[in-house]
Chains A and B, each alone.
Chain A
Amino acid sequence: MGSNVLHVLKGINFSVEEGELVAIMGSSGSGKSTLLNILGMLDLLDSGTYTLDGVPIVNLNETKAAKYRNKFLGFVFQSFNLINYKSALENVSLPLYYQRIPRKEREKIAMQYLKKVGLSEWATHLPSELSGGQKQRVAIARALAAQPKVLLADEPTGALDSTTSYEVMQLIQEINDEGKTILVVTHEPDIANMCKRIVQLKDGVIIEDKKVTQIRASDYV
């Protein structure tokens, strides 16, 4: 990534309790994606500490990071990032493959999560045969399959129209209701207001951190 060092985050002190649904907001360049990537161990921090579920995340080599990601974290991306030659079911079972769970069991678990996101009938379809909302739901099922501690969603509704966005947010709220900790990066205020807490980032620092009354996405659908 070139030799230029760019300091994006300039001192962030921030902790999330189990079961929270946090929206990280900010204009582009504010550092919200960088924060999420550090939390997701996709990017490295130059200074500071990061503790996840009581485990200090230090001295991360690639192999260790991969194992943490597999065990603790689930990712949902704006552009879904499904593997295009694998069916919905195979995509969902991929994190389980890296947990060395046997094939049969893997597919059973994956099917459960597909059912959970309402796509069990689409299990054998390729991503190209699914709509944007369906793809994102497959991605969410995949993120949940490994039973992570935290779900990290980077603009999960960024590529979706508003009706589909609300459907996806409804799903995220339901998962949160079951107690899963979720962080959502977004720049849309209506999406942020569907979370329980909003963290506002600007130029690499937190300018606002407030709890909000959650608006249920089901009100819109």
Chain B
Amino acid sequence: MFSRDSWQEIFQTIKKNKLRTFLSGFTVSLGIFIFIILLGLGNGLKNSFNQFFLDDATNTFFIFPSSTSVPYKGFKANRKIQFKNEDVVDIKKNFPFFLEYISPILFRAGTISYKNKSNNYSYRGVAPVYQFAEKTILMRGRFINEDDVKNKAKYAVIGRLVAKDLFGSEQAIGKYIIIQNTAYKIVGTFQDAGGDREERYVYLPYTTIQLNEKNTDKIDQIVLAFKPELGYTGAMIFEEKLTKFLKEKHSISPTDESGFFIRNVADNLNKNMQYADILKLIVSFVGIGTLIAGVIGISNIMVFVVKERTKELGIRKALGATPFSIVAMILQESVFITIIAGYVGMIAGVFVLRFVGDSLENYFILNPFIDTGTAIFSTIILIIFGAIAGYVPAKRAARIQPIVALRDE
């Protein structure tokens, strides 16, 4: 079946029937190509989804104050709730079992300058553990530490893009920047996977900001992390207990939903993972659909090829071709074309994906790729199904009576 002779016979058939070969090869290439592209783009979509939603630590709560909506214990409704340093201390004291770390956050924005360069930036007063909540990656130097907080040190940690804006290629660490007429020494620079916005932040010890603002003890938000081993259920219990505790402490009615809010990232994470799963499902669905369409395309082309060759096959049979040799010839030819064309389609698809790269980032497609295993696996699937699809018409062609095939009409 695989003798040199039969290969020569097949190469001749392929060479002399260029259009037919091209058509069937093109169908296969296109099928694989579209499959690879779609799967790659789907992966890209998934990547940017993960980057958007799964960047920050996933065991954190953000607590932010708001206004009450219900009068309670002699307080009127619409009372503004204000968190203070003692809230952080109290939570630390009351929930040691649940708590991994906790940090206050102060949000500020303003002009930050170095020598004659200046720009507007957001800056935040935080505790050392805040580094873990944002998954900040230090490039040089260090983050805010406990001593800085205790000493209300005038130290700053700046984002990669702040350093780029103000210092260019100059080394930023050890230099002084001016924020609100106060000079801060830069002790570290960081990057953040969360994107450009998060790399334009400046972090200061929260106590230093409070000192500068008439030694206040007010804070804007609290971020805390629960112990990851609590799991999703533990996190929900913690949230419930924490809500009750803070409502009591700030004299908010137990029925009031709006005194403050807890953004539970664990809850979000759960939801986002569900979205990610659905996304994955859609991508695989589209992929499988394309693969099926490819297989159907190959089957059609095989039916067409066999139909076109009916007369030739009849002649071959009259000259002594056995049914087996007919099936073998057609299959050998179709598998050969499918392998070559499938490989070409696969390479073209992978190449296009690599070429596209991150240029579609604005369309939420990040680093579209397809792992080699999936690419090869799907190509093999298509080749196998192509062979099966070719077998049915080939078998029928082999069974056809030569006199029927050779009728003159």
Contact = CB atoms under 8 A, between A and B. Distances in A.
Interface of A: 1, 37, 40, 42-43, 62-63, 66-67, 69-71, 75, 77-79, 81-83, 85-86, 90, 94-95, 97-100, 102-103, 142, 146
A97 to B, nearest CB: 7
Counting from the closest, the 7 A-B pairs by CB-CB distance are: A70-B320, A85-B16, A98-B320, A66-B322, A95-B319, A63-B322, A62-B323
A83 B320 CA distance: 14
A146 B323 contact: no
A42 B319 contact: no
A79 B312 contact: no
B5 A97 contact: yes
B319 A98 contact: yes
A115 B13 CA distance: 26
A142 B319 contact: yes
Interface of B is mostly: helix
A114 to B, nearest CB: 16
Interface in B303-359: 311-312, 314-325
A82 to B, nearest CB: 8
Contacts of A63: 322-324
Interface string B7-41: 01100110011000000000000000000000000
Nearest to A36: B403
A66 B317 contact: yes
Contacts of A90: 12
Nearest to B312: A83
Interface string B82-107: 00000000000000000000000000
Given A83-B315, A86-B16, 11 more contacts: A42-B402, A62-B399, A69-B320, A71-B320, A79-B406, A81-B314, A85-B16, A94-B316, A97-B5, A99-B320, A103-B5
Contacts of B8: 103
Contacts of A42: 318, 401-403
A69 B320 CA distance: 5
Among B5, B17, B318, the one with the most A-chain Cβ atoms within 10 Å of its Cβ is B318
Contact of A146 (B314, B316, B320): B320
Given A85-B17, A86-B12, A103-B5, A67 B403 contact: no
Contacts of A142: 319
Nearest to B398: A62
Contacts of A85: 12-13, 16-17
A66 B321 contact: yes
B404 interface: yes
Given A63-B322, A69-B320, A79 B408 contact: yes
A43 B404 CA distance: 10
21 contacts: A1-B404, A42-B403, A43-B401, A63-B324, A67-B322, A69-B318, A70-B320, A75-B318, A79-B406, A81-B406, A82-B315, A83-B312, A85-B16, A94-B319, A97-B5, A98-B325, A99-B320, A100-B5, A103-B5, A142-B319, A146-B320
A62 B320 contact: no
A98 B311 CA distance: 17
Nearest to A82: B315
B95 to A, nearest CB: 83
Contacts of B406: 77, 79, 81
B408 A78 contact: yes
A98 B318 contact: no
A6 B42 CA distance: 61
A153 B332 CA distance: 33
Contacts of B408: 78-79
Nearest to B402: A42
Contacts of B316: 83, 94, 98
B319 A69 contact: yes
A66 B318 CA distance: 7
A42 B400 CA distance: 10
